[in-house]
Amino acid sequence: MLNTLSLKSILISGAVALTIAGQAHAYEPARSAECIAPANPGGGWDFTCRSVGRVLVDQGYFKGNVQTVNMTGAGGGVAYAHTISKRDKDDNLIVAASTATTTRLAQGQFPGMDSKQVKWIGTLGADYGIIAVGKDSKYTNLTQLLDALKSDPTSVKFAGGSASGGWDHLKVLMTAQKANVGDLPKVRYLAFSGGSEALVQVVGGHVDAFTGDISEVKGFMDSGDLRVLAVLSEERLPEPFAAIPTAMEQGVDSVAPNWRGFYMPGNSSAESYDWWVKTMDELYKTEEWKDIMVKNGVMPFHKSGEEFTQFVNNQILDIQILSKDIGLIK
């Protein structure tokens, strides 16, 4: 009888231990994962997916690859809707996001969708906004460009990679507002499906100025095809961008950090969400990611999990107020 009881105890203990172990390791990442970049190749979201995907593979988090899928449309709205409606339980899907995402949510540009329908994983840095012109532009500094807008708010045509009313557009309006430009709704902005397309238009001389983020322009800066008039940061960025003056240096108190991060499907498992949060926390500390940040002008900025979720909700409220103040929404 004692032997039988002992055997039963051992079996029960073993079963409990297996159950606990199973719960602790309930999520094992698949061989490969997918990252949706809600824009064409070459822009900030594409950069975020491809750079992070490479580090995830290099650091051994995935045995296969992290595939970047470009899904353009509605300033990120197509990707957001796809995630909610088609991939809502996918544990191996992440979607690149930024301040542009919260801007669209704040302005109600994703009809029927809100921030609570996805899970916010974390940020891996901030990409500061810039205003730039082509190498042959008559504008050699920010003051000249803003003076032109003061004389005639329709005189400068801007191109950006976010939808009309989105973050790239908002950066120009914020800067113009700080410089006391009047009649802000008349400022001309052309929306493209990503920063790369907008840059081509500016470099080609078809549009006067580019509004985007510093990580999008290094190639055109190196080739001499683009002149960055101002970076919208509190102080100058480190090399290789240290020569770019801030808007604040030029008398305009405009600061526009664009965080880079990810969300995942709202009904993905709690275990997979915890894994992604922990993994992004670890990735942010690697030397490989630090090097990518320095080379691309991405500044330190890291929030994850619950803290990031609260940050997103607070930012949406702030942008709603700002958008009302400058006449983008009622």
Q: What average pLDDT does the segment 167-191 reach? A: 94
Pinpoint the residues of the chain covered by CATH 3.40.190.150: 33-127+258-325
**pLDDT at res. 179:** 96
Instruction: Evaluate whether the domain defined by 33-127+258-325 bears CATH number 3.40.190.150.
Output: yes
Neighbours of 282 (CB within 10 A): 12
Average pLDDT value for the chain: 91
Measured on CA atoms in the order 189, 193, 197, 199, is the torsion positive or negative? positive
pLDDT tens readout for residues 52-89: 999 999 999 999 999 999 999 988 999 999 999 999 99
Whether the pTM exceeds 0.95: the reply is no
Dmax over CA atoms of the chain, in Å, equals 98
Alpha carbon distance 119, 111 (integer Å): 18
Pairing of strands 157-160, 209-213: parallel
Q: Please list, in sequence order, all residues whose beta carbon lies within 8 angstroms of the beta carbon of residue 74, skipping any fewer than 6 positions away.
A: 104, 109, 110, 163
Asked whether residue 251 carries a pLDDT value surpassing 90, the answer given is yes
Pinpoint the residues of the chain covered by CATH 3.40.190.10: 128-257
**pLDDT at res. 200:** 96
**How big, in percent rounded to 5, are the helix, strand and coil portions of the chain?**
45, 20, 35
Structure tokens at 38: 């809600």
> H helices of 36-132, where?
44-58, 77-86, 99-106
Pick 128-257's CATH classification: 3.40.50.150, 3.40.190.10, 3.40.50.300, 3.40.50.1260. Answer: 3.40.190.10
**pLDDT at res. 13:** 46
pLDDT more than 90, % of the chain: 79
Alpha carbon distance 321, 327 (integer Å): 10
Report the number of secondary-structure helices (H) and strands (E) in the chain: 11, 10
